[in-house]
Homo-oligomer: A and B are copies of this chain.
Amino acid sequence: MIRVQEEDFDLGAELAALTRGKTSVGGLAVFVGLVRDMAGGDAVKAMTLEHYPAMTEAMLERIDAEAKQRWPLEDTLIVHRVGRLLPGEQIVLVACTSAHRQAAFDGCQFLIDWLKTKAPFWKLEDGPIGAKWVEARASDDEAAKRWKTKTDAG
């Protein structure tokens, strides 16, 4: 399931819903991204997440479908927040359940790596000298590359 929302999410409730009554699940892997109070040496007062709603939904659905095709996952969950967030707040949740631990881990890493390089979200950081659009990081491109397959169009 994918969801984009302004409001915060209840991590415990989201994860409980993923595994409740699913006795075929042996492992749950989860990643939560949070707003840090520092970025590149500068204090961050707040962060505003903008997105391109129609494309976000299309891309997240595709990323999700790709993960389910590559690994034997029981369920997946992507929740991404938009709007203004303060340091310490949750930005994104990705979670995978599977009969097997490695599939859950790989699916989870794949989802967040691809989301970070493909889903149309942009972060505006409110720092000491005003608001600044966050620049994409080469390390995120590198992380996404390890999931590249020969048939992967981009």
Contacts and interface: CB of A to CB of B under 8 A. Distances in A.
Contact of A19 (B26, B28, B34): B34
Contacts of A22: 88
B36 A32 contact: no
Nearest to A102: B143
B88 A36 contact: no
A16 interface: yes
Interface string A87-128: 110000000000101101100110010000000000000000
A37 interface: yes
Nearest to A10: B12
B36 A26 contact: yes
A77 interface: no
Interface in A51-104: 87-88, 99, 101-102, 104
Interface residues of A, number: 37
Interface of A: 10-13, 15-16, 19, 21-38, 87-88, 99, 101-102, 104-105, 108-109, 112, 139, 143
Of listed A16, A30, A99, residue having the most chain B CB within 10 A: A30
Given A24-B38, A38-B24, A88-B21, A101 B12 contact: no
Given A105-B31, A143-B102, A36 B16 contact: no
B23 A27 contact: no
Of listed A13, A16, A23, A109, residue having the most chain B CB within 10 A: A23
